[in-house]
Structure 1
Amino acid sequence: MLVDWQQIIEALWETVAMVSFSLLFSVVIGLPLGILLVITRKGHLWENKQLFNLLNAVVNIFRSIPFIILMVAVIPFTRLVVGTSIGTAAAIVPMVLYAGPYIARLIENSLLEVDPGVMEAAQAMGATPRQIITRFLIPEALSSLLLGITIATIGLVGASAMAGAVGGGGLGDLAITFGYQRFDTTVMLITVGILVVMVQGLQSSGNILSKKIRRR
């Protein structure tokens, strides 16, 4: 069968757009949420048991829902936000809801790895809680944070492919519509190959940047 490369390129750009915008909004949600999960826990900067338990429960609930189920469950909310439940824009909504709590947990784990002595030294110098977070805690965990974001981005690539199951567009939609339903093995292999290359490229780039930051 002849391969429509223009169609494949369009699907690739749709996937890139879905992953990029979803990652941006997920970080906007996940970064402050992850920081709050750290600083509100017992013995930390802004200890608040009630808030920590609430945030922890919310994150656990969203992380326990498989993406394909979450995508269908939030269709009414997706329609409310973007006006439709089909297409690239519609796929971004459940992808953000899926990745935001996941990124929050990754950020929480990275920040908890920071040596407590760093915060003690910052407090001894008279730093405010905000200064401790922005000038000590986050910079010390930056290398680990970058690896966490890399893992989340790869997860979003997989989620974007699953979004094709419900008409989300991108490579996943192309693979299902043409590769599976029309028995076009060539298209299926090309889409899988592109996704593998994307994942390998993202992971390699994340590893390189993380090493550079760690050395500094």
Structure 2
Amino acid sequence: MRRTNKERTESMRLMLMAAARTLFVAKGYAETATPEIASAAGVTRGALYHHFEDKKALFAAVVAEEARQVGAGIAARSENTSNARDALLDGARGYFDAMAVPGRTRLLLLDGPAILGLRSLQDIDREHAEGTLKAGLSDLFAAGGKDLALLDVFAHLLSAAFDRAALAIEAGAQRKDYESAIAALIDGIAVK
């Protein structure tokens, strides 16, 4: 069965992204050259540049895919929870599960902001995971009779707490301690 041009294009993009991800994680962005990526993907540099404007655009695509997978993990873990508090806690566990994928913390929390800039990373997060967090907090605020005026601020602060926790866990800290601390933060938010 012959593949369409669209299918071939998507397949090539995915091959390039997989090869680039492996190299970005192993060597870092700065130490990874486009000829290496093309070689690892089994294509020419011309093919790489046909699909991505430059190495930074390829890196951005890799980071966006990682963020999409994190968002999917959060949603899958929290979608069937009956109350706002438990949904947020399940979402936190989904986040920590997703961030445990080797290399993901480096790509999303260390290299991503340094290479793409904080604003670009915030845009990517907004597209993939921020909505789930805001929806959960909105439900928690509503259940606790809280004013929604500070929803964005709380979402930003809690997101930063999740990221710092993921970095600490990657460095060897006990995940259960961070899950307990996140629960305490959420419970503190829920108090009237």
Normalising by structure 2, we get a TM-score of 0.32
Normalising by structure 1, we get a TM-score of 0.29
- Between 1 and 2, higher relative CO (CA 8 Å, sep ≥ 6) is seen in 1
Larger radius of gyration: 1
